[in-house]
Amino acid sequence: MSTKILTLKVIRAAIFIALMVAIVGSAITGYLLNKASNNPMKYGIVLDAGSSHTDLFVYEWPAEKQNDTGVIAQRHLCHVEGGGISSYKSSPSGAGESLRACMDKAKTIVPKDRWADTPLALGATAGMRLLEMSDSVAAKAVLSSVREVLDSSPFSYHEARIISGQEEGTYGWITANYFLYNFIQFTWLGTWQWTTSTKPIGALDLGGASTQITFMTEEPLQGSPDSLTIQLYGRKYHVYSHSYLCYGRDQAIKRFLSTLYKASPGAQVDNPCYPRFDSVAYNLSFIYDSPCTSDERPANYDPNRSVTFRGTADPAACINTISSIFKFSACSSPNCTFDGVWQPPVQGQFLAFSSFYHTMAAFNFTNPKPSLNEATVAFNYYCRKTWNEVKAQHPEVAAERLREHCFQAYYVYTLLIKGYKFDEESWKNINFQKEARGGELGWALGFMLNVTNMVPVEKLPDLFSTAIVGFSFVFHLAILLVVACVLYVVHYRSASAKDKRGDNHTVI
């Protein structure tokens, strides 16, 4: 048989084999795609009941899970109208009623046939922790109202409770790292796998009533109540997490005003953090209605007494007064932060969100972020302005928030630098963000990940959805290998034939 005829037959065979592989592969891929399209998504609903407001998050994830933990994405965010549920202490039934509009919205997001197996949970944070301290009866009534409304929904009601500060910090740490793919990554085979290429970052959260710092440590911290081990995606992580109650933005303002009033108890009090020529009046109940300040009430306390705070725009006095509300002298250890709390030195990258982000965003300092020195220079410049200058610079911002910008800037500076012990170098490792990869930063998604550990894996046929990309890749690779082998055989036979005829010769 001639080499030419042999080559032609081999090529025809290669084409036939490639077509057969393509037909079979396309059929199998079509089957997998059909299975994936029919594979229902799982859903979960979490309500983040903060001190100043409540947010409802709808999450979704495919039926298959990685090492017993769902791969979750944020589907919807609904802001509940009104204040936080703790603000309904005088009319507890209003707390539950305030949630109905967002709960109705969730019904339009989650398919009706998935309502019954969609877990629903509410976590209340520092606002409710404070209410429980000051009025446990009211706190129970508020939670009872919330539970009644949630339990009456068509979703699978899981729980409504006050979460601890450490839970809040830890779930926030999980959320930040989850959105940044620091736990798992999508591989070229179309599957998710645990990653060692990136190290989990730290999380800094500043809410209305508390602040949290959480970061990973190499080993468990022996004897520390702030050390814990988290298991996620089949791996263990050792973290340090501490929550400081009464050091959130809103409570810090009350404590700051209390400090000013105690120093000069009169009808008018100078406020060095307010712009010059600005003034605002507060009843003493606004300052002393919280467990964070109730111990500081004056002897002749009258909740209805009005006090006017006049802005003097004095940066040095502003930061000194802010520093005085921190108990830096509570311990002498170099690893002591404030209030006598022990903390290992900060290490690695950090993501700062919530009011940390909003404070820096007010100065357009989120991207790019200035150096620590540049930030303090800008704060100092801003905090010397008059009220008219400030309003002209930010006409879109409400007055009650605008006058707090200087205070918040120096408060964040004091908390991060003097409190958490960041310095010029480690400041560079802090990124201020509101969201990451389309998801809102906070503790809610971390809580949802914990909830999904109790959701059973779907039956085996539904596990094909994440294998589609991988199968397609392997299928096309097989075709290429077949064609390559055929071409090699053709080339080898052709070369052998030439050798036998003496066609090959060497050029010297």
CB 248 within 8 A of CB 209: yes
Residue owning tokens 């409540």: 54
Task: Find out whether 494 and 7 touch, Cβ atoms under 8 Å.
Answer: yes
| 168 in catalytic set | yes
Rounded Cα gap, residues 66 and 186, in angstroms: 11
What is the distance in angstroms between the CA of the first residue and the CA of the last residue of the chain?
A: 33
Task: Name the phi and psi angles at 383, rounded to 5.
Answer: -75, 5
Query: CA–CA separation, 246 vs 294, rounded Å?
Result: 12
Measured CA to CA, the distance from residue 72 to residue 183 in angstroms comes to: 12
- Count of positions (residues) in the chain: 508
* CB 359 within 8 Å of CB 253: no
Q: To the nearest 10°, report the CA torsion of 383, 386, 387, 391.
A: -80
SS3 state at 173: helix
Closest CA to 201 of 22, 348, 15: 348
Burial (CB count within 10 angstroms: exposed 0-12, middle 13-18, buried 19+), residue 99: buried
Catalytic member of 60, 64, 168, 440:
168
Point out the residues that are catalytic: 168
